Amino acid sequence: MFSFKFALPSLCLLPLLMLAADPPVIIKKTAIVPTSPASGSEMFKQYCASCHGADAKGHGPAVPALKVPPPDLTMLAKNNKGKYPAFRVQAAIQGDTAVVAHGDKDMPVWGTIFREMSNSNESKIAARISNLGLYIESLQQK
């Protein structure tokens, strides 16, 4: 037999439980701050760390808002039979390849952004992509 003695307290707790739920995390979009094309470290901190984390291990502050968590960038070589996949990394940065872990374009296409930032100067764009890739390579776990 159904008892209102137990149902009423449960119904009273329901609104409190709903209020206690975590609100959805929203990524705040801000203007891109230009950095030096020569500094992979500076570019990583400015453009990548919010998702990949300052240590590149995939634990940045924006992760809760992403559909798919970003990869640990320090494990790229280890997960590729000990060889850093430079071409794949550069293609991902440029937006030339679809990266499944990025879901439906959670990761900005930095090649396009770097092009705009560099006034379509091909050598500056190439320097940005190369230096960012080299910095990520320097973070690889042995």
Contact 104, 67 (CB under 8 A): yes
46 domain-assigned: yes
- What sign for the dihedral angle of Cα 38, 40, 44, 45? negative
How many structural domains comprise the chain? 1
**Residue 4: predicted pLDDT:** 46
| DSSP class per residue in 65-107 | G-SSPPP-GGGTTGGGTT---HHHHHHHHHT-S--GGGTTT-S
The answer as to whether 8 is a domain residue is: no
Confidence band, pLDDT 50/70/90 cuts, at residue 109: confident
Over the stretch 23-74, which tens digit does the pLDDT of each residue have?
Answer: 666 666 777 888 999 999 999 999 999 999 999 999 999 888 888 889 999 9
**Per-residue exposure over 28-45, b if at least 16 CB sit within 10 Å of its own CB, e if not:** eeeeeeebebeebebbbe
By C-alpha distance, which of 107, 100, 118 is closest to 38? 118
As given in the structure block, the two tokens for residue 99 are 């990266």
> Does 27 reside within a domain?
no
Q: Would you say residue 106 lies in a domain?
A: yes
12 occurs within a structural domain: no
For residue 94, the enclosing domain spans 35-138
Residue 72's nearest CA partner among 52, 93, 57 is 57
Residue 125 inside a domain? The answer is yes
Residue 10 within a domain: no
User: Is residue 44 within 8 Å of residue 135, measured between CB atoms?
Assistant: yes
- For 141, the token pair is 């776990």
State the number of CA atoms in the 13 A half-sphere of 140 facing the CB: 17
Query: Which of 84-88, 92-96, 97-101, 115-119 comes out lowest in average pLDDT?
Result: 97-101
Across the chain, mean pLDDT equals 81
1 found inside a domain: no
Residues 41 and 29 sit within 8 Å (Cβ to Cβ):
no
